Structures are given as structure tokens and as C-alpha cells.
A and B are shown apart, each in its own frame.
Chain A
Amino acid sequence: MSPWRLLVIGVLWIGVAAAFWHVVQNREQHPLSRTRLLLGTVVEITIYDERPQRFADSVDAAFQEMARIESLTSFHQPQSDVTRLSSTTGTFAAAPEVLEILKQGLKISRASDGAFDMTLGRLKALWGFGSPHPRRPAPEDIREALQGSGSEALSIEQGRVLKHTNARIDLGGIAKGYIIDRAAALLQRAGVRCAAINVGGDLRLIGRRAVPWRIAIRHPRHSDALLATLVLAEPLAVVTSGDYERFFEQGGVRYHHLFDPATGMPANRCRSVTVVSPEAALADALATAVFVMGPDAGLALLERYSRTGGLVVDAAGVVHVSRGLRSQVVWP
């Protein structure tokens, strides 16, 4: 073998070894992931970046922002805007964030013919989800708790909230999504290009990755099985509402926390609803609305929003997928 060939081979091997070594040395580029207990669940923010550590402060700021808005919208805290709004009738000067949530919520409430309802505070308290001993209330108690609820109970005029009845406000179906959106906006302003916010299984993706996002959806009856996987190229929000999240059984019947405002009973048309939409607030509220409306009316509602789709498991366990989403669903 001529010395030239030996030289070429040697250089090639050194090149390969150097490239390999470089890659091994740079393997510390793990995405940065931080968790906090907020919104009554585990919140996880993951930053995908060459140097994710530089956004650590922004992640902390996002957590703080989430905690701040949570304190405005919580109905547990006696001084929160939502608690004070619940106990007043007439005009109320709400914080801009609460006003924004109510505005979006009312729109969806009207679009869904009241299937999405932010005035079910008394009904939810009556059933006692979140307390140690939830129970099925008497029908007359349910009727009483529904008095004064419905989307006509609230309106917004000149930047002030007008509450016409004594309904108690519960933003459970939209506040979480709105808070996720605010955290996402904060991260984007801080220069984060690719990230994910996961609030107890409700997600908002930020930016595109070289490979699409793969979002698995839990099976509503088998907690360790996957129903399907969504393959999303675009940064969207994915929110799932299911009857398995919070429920109790009484007399062999399962009572869960997603109520039909028309009856005051747990909605019984679906087992789980996953909504994909550009904004988490919209996805959150629509998931609740579709859960109440059922697969046919629900998917028809989703068609009215751009880049929005859904996957519904109905009461019989049959899966319905909206047309726009079909090409993005991978079955296991």
C-alpha cells in the first residue's frame, strides 16, 4: 500500500473519530424541563434549545405568571376576583385577565348553545367534587342550584362585568387553558422558539421541531393504554376532557365532574373528548362543550373554528374524529 493511500485512510479515520468524539462530548443538550405544582396539578414546562439553560429565568417567570392568574380565577380563595364576582350582583370591575377569560367564555357559551357554562359554581359545589365526600344530590337541590345559571347571567359592557343573577362563577373549563396561553405568550416574548407547556395532560406546544410533535391520547377506560397518537407539525394546543379524571361511584353508577347545564347531571354522551386548536383557552372550553354536546353536534361545532379539530370517544366507546384531524391521527 502506498504511503499516500495510508495517509488518506488515516485522515479519514481521524475525521470520523473526531466527529464521533464531538458528538459524544456535546450530548448534554437535553431539553430543559421544570415542574411545579400549580392549578391543582403538575405543571411542566419543557424548553427545546441548544442552550436551554439561558431560559431558566423565563420559565420561572412563566410559573409565577401562572400562579398570579390562578389566584385571580380561583374560587377557593376568598379574595379572588372570581369569588368576589360570585357574591355580587350588578357591575363588577374585574381584572383584565378575568375579563378576557369571561369574554372568550361567553362567546363559546353562545356558540355551543349553553353547553359550555361558566355559571355552574353552585351546582359543582353541591355535587362536592374536590371535597373528600362527593355525593349525588337530591333532584330538587339540583334544580335549585341551576337557578340563575346560563349564559344570560353574565354580560360585559364597557370593560365591566355585569352579573344579572346570583349564580356562582366557576371558570374550571377555561381558566386553565387561558393561563397556559399566557405562559406561552410570556415564553415567546422572552425569545423561546420551541417549548411545550404541560398542565396535567393539557398541552400547548410552541414553535416547530425538526420532527413533528407526537401527542399520545390516553384510553378513557384503560389508564395505561394509548387510544391514539396525534402527529402535529404545527404548534397547537391539545386538551382532553374525560369522565375518568374525577369521578365517584354510587349505587353502581359513575358520576363524573363534567356537567350538562341542561340537566345538572354529569353529561352522558361521551367518555372523552380531545380538542386540538391554536389556543389552549379555546381548546379547553371547546373540549368541555363538545363533551356535553356529544360527538355529532360537538364535531359540527369544532368545524366552525379554524385549524381546530377533535377526537371524541362516545358513550358506547366508538371513536369519532373530525375531518381535518383524520390525517394526523396514528392508531396504535
Chain B
Amino acid sequence: MARKCFTLWDCLVVAVLLITALASWLLMPHADGAMVIVERQGRVLFRAPLHCRREVSLDGPLGPTVISIENGWVRVKNSSCPRHLCQHHKAIRRSGEMLACLPNGLVIRVAGPVSVPEPYDFLSH
């Protein structure tokens, strides 16, 4: 009996599946990387990818708040709020993490790509 492990038909099947994989990859809308989203009162003021280095100054009722995005980390670099609590908070990078500047009404959060979910739904602290 001839070897039947890799016939022409097998080649065809493998080729079709590889093409399917490639085509679905190309057809699928590409996943965004993790995003930094800044909101005030539920309204999005600003969004930017986490991997691009940048510095943003957003005006609030008390003056500007400077947010710095660097090497995949987000932090508040400078804020015109009275106690600078937000400035002293450690930088964030994981999906779902938040920085907030309460006096200036800003919520800064990281929204991750959906393919790398965190192992939990909510964090109790």
C-alpha cells in the first residue's frame, strides 16, 4: 500500500486552511493596542495609544493637568490641583487601571486590547 499520509488532497486541505487563516487575519479589523482614555463626567476628552510617547495638557476647572505617556506607562506629570495626590499616585499601565484627579474632574484609564483579558472582572480594594 502506498503511503497515504500526504497526498495531493492533503496539500490542498492544508493550503485552503492556511489561506483561510491568512484571509481571516486580513479581513478581521485589527485589534487596537491598549489605549489611554481621559474622561470628565463620563465624556471622553482624549484618547491615545499607550505605546506612543506623548505629553498632553488638559484644562480643568483649576487649570491644566499634564499627563505623560511613556514606555507604556501613564502618569500625571503635573497638575494644578491643591494636593497633587494624582501626581504622587504611581504610574499605571494595565487594562482597567485608573488615575483620577478629583479636584480637576479627570479620570484617566487604560483600556486594553480584548485579546489579553485580565484574570478577573473587578478589583476590590
Contact = CB atoms under 8 A, between A and B. Distances in A.
B100 A42 contact: yes
| Residue among A37, A216, A217 with max Cβ neighbours from chain B (10 Å) | A37
A37 B122 contact: no
A240 B124 contact: yes
Contacts of B125: 200-201, 217-218, 240, 242, 245
Given A201-B124, A274-B124, A37 B102 contact: yes
A84 to B, nearest CB: 25
A242 B123 CA distance: 14
B124 A238 contact: yes
Interface residues on A, range: 20 to 34
Nearest to A213: B121
Nearest to A24: B28
Contacts of B119: 214, 216, 229
B66 interface: no
Interface in A215-254: 215-218, 223, 226, 229-230, 238-240, 242, 245
Interface string B93-125: 000001010100101010000000001111111
Given A24-B27, A132-B82, A223-B90, A36 B122 contact: no
Contact of B100 (A24, A37, A132): A37
Contact of B124 (A20, A35, A239): A239
A216 B121 CA distance: 8
A299 B39 CA distance: 40
B100 A41 contact: yes
Contact of A36 (B42, B82, B124): B42
Contacts of A191: none
B68 to A, nearest CB: 19
B7 interface: no
A34 interface: yes
Nearest to B101: A37
A9 B2 CA distance: 26
Contacts of A226: 120, 123
B124 A42 contact: no
Interface in B23-48: 24, 27-29, 39, 41-42
Interface in A159-200: 196, 198, 200
Contacts of B42: 34-36, 63
A229 B122 contact: no
B3 interface: no
6 contacts: A36-B42, A203-B124, A215-B122, A215-B123, A216-B124, A240-B124
Give the 5 A-B residue pairs with the shortest CB-CB distance, closest first.
Answer: A218-B125, A216-B120, A201-B125, A214-B120, A240-B124
